[in-house]
Amino acid sequence: MSEGLSAWQLIASGDATLISIVRLSLTITLAAVAIAAVVGLPLGALLALTRFPGRSPLVVLVNGFMGLPPVVVGLTVYLLLSRSGPLGEFGLLFTPAAMVIAQALLVLPIIAALTRQTIEDLWREYRDELTAMGVGPTGRVVTLLWDSRFSLITRNARRLRAGGRRSRHSNDRRRQHRRLYPNHDDHDRARNLKGRPAARDGARHHPDRPHSCHQCRCLGPANVVGATGGLMMRASLTDLPLILDVSLSAGATTMLDRVNLAITPGAPTLVLGPNGAGKTSLLRVCMGLAAPSAGTVSWGGRTDRGLGRRAMLLQKPVMLRCSVAANVAYGLAQAGCRRHRRAARTEELLDRVGLLGLAARAARRLSSGEQQRVALARALAREPEILLLDEPTASLDPAATRHVEEIILMASQSGTKIVMASHDLGQVRRLAADVVFLVCGRLCEHASVDDFFDRPSSAKAAAFIQGDLVL
């Protein structure tokens, strides 16, 4: 009881020695976590986003080290830093630096393994969006780390707390054993500077302390992507005409079957067909996100899949975890827009899609229709020659659909070639100049909108227009 009162008295009185011990413990823990994060976050992202020989064994090794016992790490550090060890000449044994090294080794595999899993999961969702925007490897790592920052903090904090509980339970068992058998290990344990058994100091690692996360003031890729001459350098390139003679399959499933199509400058082209007809697959091949299984694609006579002057709006666009304005500025950064012009261009694009008043709002808190308009502004930031749209109004109400269609028509009138997938016959009548009709991955018809509706050349097209089931 007296010991308890004495401890409370030390705390209440602000004992200088106690404060220095707490400060040292916090410093060691935060330093160890910071070092482990600097190494573990890029390592985890690298393992998530790249494929190389030996990756699988390395992932297994990192995951296995998550359960590394603290006593093993302590013994390893002791052997390395002892006078007879390879690093003994530095005199780090029994110093705060040695404790930082030990704790960093404990925390590093936890941060690396959880980062790999988090980034790998997020990459499945972000892959097409970031690829369509032309984000490079470094930009992908920074973007995914930034957007998963809250998930990473939560996952790592939980895992570190679990590790801390395991370490404390182990120390509790050792202390109970020493109370029952006080003479068992006094002679064969390393002693501290006061001549007491080091095991009795109660010193232990604290991998469970929460670490601080430095939150960047802007998305990383906007800083790391330099303007290589901006959009002016791309003006000499052209992606039109877009000519396809392709087939696309995955295993035994055929998504596109010998589709021969030419897309030329002019008014919007709409890709029409029932569900599963291959509309999205066709747009992905047009964008260069998917390589055809057979055949070729050429953009303005070029067959390389580099982005050129194309942009794509996915059916479910990804909103980055930042404001509406920051999402558009990110697209401008990837397009090569110089930093000093981004603020003005962001306002211009948001005004163009009618969202200037929502610039500071979190993008993920917008309605579906508003998010589609943000994604449209981000795609238009590339000043594309071809804009590919994958059913952008599929889940929107009539008012939101009207807003999106108005933006599409304005983009078309400004010279952008629109290629848009849809299953809405009314929308096709309102927007299209010509119609590409697909069924089961095959091109059934390519005709002007008037000919398609008034004089369909295939029985399947006629049945689809009448609302019959087309297989």
pLDDT digits 0-9 by tens, 187-215: 444 444 344 444 433 333 333 333 333 33
Asked if 66 and 110 touch (Cβ cutoff 8 Å), the reply is yes
Q: What is the pLDDT of residues 279-329, one digit of tens each?
A: 999 999 999 999 999 999 999 999 988 878 999 999 999 999 999 999 999
Q: Kindly provide the b/e burial profile for residues 431-468, where b requires at least 16 CB atoms within 10 angstroms of the residue's own CB.
A: bbebbbbbbbbbbbbbbebeebbeebeeebbbebbeee
Which residues on adjacent β-strands are paired with residue 247?
294
CA distance 42 to 37: 8
Q: What's the CATH code, domain 2-206?
A: 1.10.3720.10
- pLDDT value, residue 163: 57
How far CA 148 is from CA of 94, 121, 215, 224, 461, in Å, comes to: 37, 10, 12, 18, 45
Q: Does the structural domain 230-465 have CATH classification 1.10.1200.10?
A: no
CA nearest neighbour of 101 among 109, 92, 110: 92
Q: What is the pLDDT of residue 168?
A: 47
Which pLDDT score, from 0 to 100, does residue 154 have? 85
> What is the SS3 assignment for 48-112?
HHCCCCCHHHHHHHHHHHCCCCHHHHHHHHHHHHCCCCCCHHHCCCCCHHHHHHHHHHHHHHHHH
- Give burial (CB, 10 Å; 0-12/13-18/19+) of 305: middle
pTM of the model: 0.78
pLDDT at 190: 41
Distance of CA 75 to the CA centre of its chain: 38
pLDDT the model gives residue 162: 65
pLDDT score of 18: 86
* Domain edges within the chain: 2-206, 230-465
Domains 2-206 and 230-465 share a fold: no
**Mean per-residue pLDDT pooled into runs of 10, the chain (471 residues):** 67 85 93 95 94 93 90 92 90 92 94 94 95 93 93 80 53 47 44 41 38 39 39 63 96 94 96 94 96 95 87 94 97 94 97 96 95 96 96 92 95 96 94 97 96 95 91 73
Q: Rounded to whole angstroms, how far apart are CA atoms 337 and 329?
A: 9
